[in-house]
Homo-oligomer: A and B are copies of this chain.
Amino acid sequence: MDFEQADALNQAIRLLSLRHRARAAALLVPLGLHPGQEALLLELARTGPMIQAQLSEALGCEPPSVTLMTRKLEAAGHIRRAPAPTDRRASIVELTDSGKTLVDQIKQLWRALAQETVAGLPAQTVAELPGILKTLAANVDSRGGPVR
């Protein structure tokens, strides 16, 4: 692969990242959320209460990031952190009622964003897209990827 192709790909990924995040941010403003927080709330809605280490793994970000995000979401009243009964190091994170109603709103925005994102693409491409993107993400996964 020559540099032109490589650059086109890397640049496209970078630009998509910026734009998709910016668009998500704009949609989340009415909910008082910042991009990244919606992923945490959706993960809790998907999987149920879990400890921060699991959140960190599920979200694909590092523990310190989870610490700060959970702190802010807790301050906003959307989640609750309770000490884990079996492990005094861990704290269990769960949605509050406020968080649950927020998740419903996020889900609607999420559908709108996805639809907007794939506008104008053939249905087959749209259907294949999540799989392709997951492959790409797995390929560059620093942990467990092609390196380690």
Quick one: given A12-B130, A12-B134, are A6 and B140 in contact (CB under 8 Å)? no
Contact indicator A137/B12 (Cβ below 8 Å): yes
Interface size range of chain A in the complex: 35 or more
How many protomers of this protein does the assembly include? 2
Residues of B within 8 A of A133 (CB): 9, 12-13, 15-16
Instruction: Tell me the smallest distance from the CB of A38 to a CB of chain B, in Å.
Output: 9
Contact indicator A13/B140 (Cβ below 8 Å): no
Quick one: given A14-B39, A18-B61, A137-B19, are A8 and B130 in contact (CB under 8 Å)? yes
A125 and B134 CA atoms in complex are apart in Å by 14
Instruction: Tell me the smallest distance from the CB of A1 to a CB of chain B, in Å.
Output: 5
Instruction: Tell me the smallest distance from the CB of A25 to a CB of chain B, in Å.
Output: 9
Nearest CB in chain B to that of A25: its residue: B142
- Say yes or no for A97: interface residue by CB 8 A criterion: no
A38 and B9 CA atoms in complex are apart in Å by 14
Stretch in A73-81, A84-92, A116-124 with 4+ CB within 8 Å of B: A116-124
